[in-house]
Amino acid sequence: MRTARATQKQANMALEVGKSALLGVIISFVLVVLYAVALKEELLQVSTMGLFTTVIKVICAAAAGLIAVRRCKKRLWLYGALAGTFYAVLAFIVFSAVAGTLYVSIALLSDIAIGAVSGLLSVMVLQMLK
């Protein structure tokens, strides 16, 4: 049977994953706005949009993974992957709400996979550097 301490620890990690995904979405929103400004000022071409949106997703999912494991002692890779996955889903919901459309396609599965792998790998690299 689980103790109260073990249950409390799991609840805290769920909260950490949620907060890190939210912070990832905020970082993503800031980077998208900066990219839009660069497009408006013609510093970048419109043809770079696919590349930059993917890079922004990878950076923010990795950041969400790293933020999530700050207070974690075990299974860092799992919580990093969960944070990246939750970031991808939350970003999809937020950006769909901002756009006013909800279009679910196979690309969503790709974004979720990219988020999970980015969160996982960022935490693994962090552990290798320690």
In order along its 130 residues, the chain shows pLDDT tens digits of 555 565 555 558 889 899 999 999 999 999 999 999 999 999 999 999 999 999 999 999 999 999 999 888 788 899 999 999 999 999 999 999 988 888 888 989 999 999 999 999 999 999 899 7
pTM > 0.75: yes or no: yes
How far apart are alpha carbons 67 and 32 in whole angstroms?
A: 20
CB 125 within 8 A of CB 63: no
Q: What are the angstrom distances between the C-alpha of 60 and each of 35, 48, 55, 124?
A: 14, 18, 9, 16
